[in-house]
């Protein structure tokens, strides 16, 4: 499509290409680098937030199209927290790929109000969410986010959804793939966020699905100094999300046991999408079975991740089976 102001010439041939371009435009508006991006933000977002902005008939065709791409856009950008003064506490997706408002089920503490920024729960360069009751279900997740207190401005960057990391620069191919598979991903996300599961477990499973949990391979990729790259559970292979949850000899038996309990027989590959496909293929029309499958999936992810974190925080280095 052509874009207003002659900023980009040429015609994209597919709707996937159009959506990818619109996601790039959305990221540019967040980052505010170009004159066009600053003009758009100043014109449409002066009294609101990009995520909360309601589509108005008076908006330009381009801006309306950008806003309609927000669900795709949201899954592939991250907010790097520094001092928290420019990140909206409730509306910006700084905790994984969903806003605090969504993660807390749309419930907003009236006394807290809107328009607050994340520095409300950061003091002296450290997260201090404990005093705020609304963050209680998410305290552990919040503490896993690194704050760079030496810098001042929070920033947006592009995260390749396949790896959760990357250079931070927009990648058309990863966005194209994201748009192309968005329908399947939306179904997976809806399954994880269904009823009957504790919110902290849903959040953990969602972050695994999106490749956003901070395993040791990601910490190293982000340049953090860690003493060891080996899996904290088996101490045999390098730790990644794929290894920790689905290949590790400590955790894989958990999945085979869960599937056997649900409906005997296991023939899936070792990744979360295969497990979700297995559930979809076996659920039939029994909503009770689907709910049990959702609970088992989220609880398994949660307890593996909780044990992983416990062993790191307590400095345990022996393999799991030698220490329990």
Residue closer to Zn ion, measured from CB, 8 or 306: 306
Residues 27-46 touching Zn ion, rule: CB under 5 A, are none
Residue 289, phi then psi, degrees to nearest 5: -65, -40
| 143: three-class secondary structure by DSSP | helix
CA–CA separation, 117 and 97 (whole Å): 17
Q: What's the Cα-to-Cα distance from 126 to each of 82, 96, 215, rounded to whole Å? A: 10, 19, 21
- 231 is a contact residue toward Zn ion (CB under 5 A): yes
- 89 is a contact residue toward Zn ion (CB under 5 A): no
What would the x/- binding string for Zn ion be over residues 152 to 191, using CB under 5 A? ----------------------------------------
| Interface segment toward Zn ion; rule CB under 5 A; list 63-71, 95-103, 147-155, 246-254 | 246-254
Query: Which residue shows structure tokens 């309306």?
Result: 64
The single residue among 103, 205, 213, 233 that binds Zn ion, judged by CB under 5 A, is: 233
The single residue among 37, 72, 241, 248 that binds Zn ion, judged by CB under 5 A, is: 248
277's enclosing H/E stretch is: helix 272-282
Least Å distance, CB 275 to Zn ion, is 18
- 121 is a contact residue toward Zn ion (CB under 5 A): no
Instruction: Name every residue whose Cβ is closer than 8 Å to that of residue 268 and which is 6 or more positions away in sequence.
Output: 259, 274, 275, 277, 278
The site for Zn ion, by CB under 5 A, has a size of 4
Residue 12, phi then psi, degrees to nearest 5: -75, 140
Least Å distance, CB 257 to Zn ion, is 17
List of residues contacting Zn ion (CB under 5 A): 231, 233-234, 248
């Amino acid at each position: 499509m052509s874009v207003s102001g002659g900023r980009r010439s040429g015609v994209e041939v597919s709707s996937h290409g159009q959506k990818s371009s619109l996601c790039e435009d959305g990221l540019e508006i967040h980052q505010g680098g170009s004159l066009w991006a600053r003009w758009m933000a100043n014109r449409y977002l002066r009294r609101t937030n990009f995520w909360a902005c309601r589509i108005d008939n008076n908006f330009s065709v381009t801006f309306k199209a950008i806003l309609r791409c927000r669900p795709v856009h949201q899954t592939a950008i991250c907010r790097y927290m520094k001092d928290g003064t420019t990140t909206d506490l409730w509306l910006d997706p700084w905790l994984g790929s969903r806003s605090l408002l969504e993660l807390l089920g749309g419930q907003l503490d009236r006394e807290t109000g809107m328009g607050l920024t994340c520095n409300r729960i950061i003091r002296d360069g450290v997260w201090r969410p404990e005093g705020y009751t609304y963050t209680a279900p998410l305290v552990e997740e919040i503490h896993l986010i690194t704050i760079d207190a030496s810098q001042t401005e929070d920033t947006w960057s592009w995260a390749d959804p396949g790896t959760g990391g990357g250079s931070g620069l927009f990648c058309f191919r990863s966005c194209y793939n994201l748009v192309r598979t968005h329908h399947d991903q939306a179904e997976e996300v809806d399954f994880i966020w269904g009823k009957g599961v504790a919110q902290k477990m849903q959040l953990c499973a969602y972050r695994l699905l999106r490749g956003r949990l901070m395993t040791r391979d990601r910490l190293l990729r982000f340049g953090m100094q860690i003493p060891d790259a080996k899996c904290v559970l088996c101490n045999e292979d390098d730790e990644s999300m794929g290894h920790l949850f689905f290949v590790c000899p400590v955790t894989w038996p958990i999945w085979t046991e869960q599937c056997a309990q649900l409906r005997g027989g296991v023939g899936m590959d070792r990744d979360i999408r295969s497990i979700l496909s297995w559930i979809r293929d076996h659920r039939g029309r029994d909503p009770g079975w689907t709910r049990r499958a959702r609970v088992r999936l989220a609880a398994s992810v949660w307890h593996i991740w909780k044990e992983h974190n416990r062993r790191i925080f307590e400095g345990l280095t022996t393999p799991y089976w030698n220490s329990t």
